[in-house]
Amino acid sequence: MQWMRDVYVHRSLLLLLIPGTIWLIVFNYLPLYGMTLAFKSFDVNEGILGSPWATPVLKHFNKLFLDPTAMLRTVFNTLRIAVLTTVFGFPAPIILAILLNELRSQSYKRTVQTVLYFPHFLSWVFLGALVVEFMSPGSGVMGAVYRSFGAQAPYLMVDPQAWLAVYVISGIWKEVGFGTIVYLASIAGVDQELYEAAYIDGAGRISMAWHITLPSMVPVITILFIFRMGSLMTANFEQVFNLYNPLVYEVADVIDTYIYRLAFEGFQYEFSTALTMLRTGVQMILLWSTNFIVRRYSEYGLW
């Protein structure tokens, strides 16, 4: 059979897929049986599979709508953070990739890229502590700057509106460099003759970037935008968890932190699982609808 011959011909490449496939199954598919918690009355002694089914089965989903105050607050906070990070964070690596592409010195370009990539590989546990210390009015850099001008530094981490700005800026700082990799790869595939023809016609660097470089990035931008819309109901839990405090809960308490508190502080595993399933369903709808709209008005899309 043809497919068996193809498997034999590409056997070496298929062997390379085995470790990744095993990892995907173990960590992404096998844990899915835990989603049954949303329909059960969990008993620690009986375990997930041995626990009895809830009566009624949708008991924990109904609970989501009995006290909507906390739920609405976390949904609104999640959407606000997602919109802010999309508006300011999504274009950042695109702009940076175009700027890096204009650098002529390769050694300087590699140095800048290394410096910008580095924060991506650091944990938010470390970076969160660094940001909090940086913003400290007593021992932080912000406090020293204010004192040098004879002023008292405000503690921005307990100011709700200032906290949002710190969240967005710190997120961009951490991921903007790494986010340029895929855009730089798309730029590298542009036919250099297009730039030469534009230069002969008198186009400047800005004009070439706008009419050649940016259009070449549109397919990648579109795909990543679809993924971003699919994760609109998910904030960066690690970043929020390491930056927020009770004084900024009104703007920082998102769905992920709410689920965390329900599960690990309130031990409401069934309720937190039901909330996770509901959020996942909304994200799937957002992903499918965004892809449908993009495919309707352009030639790009995930499927």
Q: What is the pLDDT of residues 196-249, one digit of tens each?
A: 888 888 888 888 888 888 888 888 999 999 988 888 888 888 999 999 888 888
Average pLDDT over residues 74-84: 91
The percent helix, strand, coil of the chain (3-state, each to 5) is: 80, 0, 20
Residue 281: inside a domain: yes
Give the three-class secondary structure for 298: coil
Q: Considering the domain boundaries, does residue 8 fall inside one?
A: no
DSSP-assigned states of every residue in 44-90: TTTHHHHSPBPSSTTHHHHHHHHSHHHHHHHHHHHHHHHHHIIIIIS
List the CATH number of the domain containing 131.
Answer: 1.10.3720.10
Asked whether residue 103 carries a pLDDT value surpassing 90, the answer given is no
> Which percentage of the chain shows pLDDT scores above 90?
24
The domain containing residue 129 runs over which residues? 58-297
Average pLDDT of the residues of the chain: 87
Q: How confident is the model at residue 108 (pLDDT cuts 50, 70, 90)?
A: confident
For the stretch 149-180, pLDDT in tens is: 888 878 888 888 889 999 999 999 999 988 89
Banded model confidence at residue 84, pLDDT cuts 50, 70, 90: very high
Residue 40 within a domain: no
12 located within any domain: no
Per-residue confidence band for 125, with pLDDT thresholds at 50, 70 and 90: very high
Q: Identify the pLDDT of residue 239.
A: 92
Give residue 297's pLDDT.
Answer: 84
pLDDT in tens, 251-268: 888 989 888 888 888 888
Q: Is the pLDDT of residue 88 over 90?
A: yes
Task: Look at the chain and report how many structural domains it folds into.
Answer: 1
Would you say residue 232 lies in a domain? yes
Output the pLDDT for position 126: 92
pLDDT value at position 167? 93
Residue 30 lies in a domain: no
The pLDDT confidence band at residue 95, using thresholds 50, 70 and 90, is very high
Q: Please report the pLDDT score of residue 92 as a whole number.
A: 93
Specify the pLDDT at position 190: 84
Q: Is residue 52 part of a domain?
A: no
Distance CA 37, CA 50 (A): 11
**Taken in order 183, 188, 193, 197, is the CA torsion positive or negative?**
positive
Q: Closest Cα partner for 258 from 272, 246, 248? A: 272
- Six-digit token pair at 25? 């199954």
pLDDT grade, residue 13 (50/70/90)?
confident
CA–CA distance, 212 with 194 (Å, rounded to integer): 7
Distance CA 252, CA 78 (A): 8
| 9 belongs to a structural domain | no
57 contacts 270 by C-beta, under 8 angstroms: no
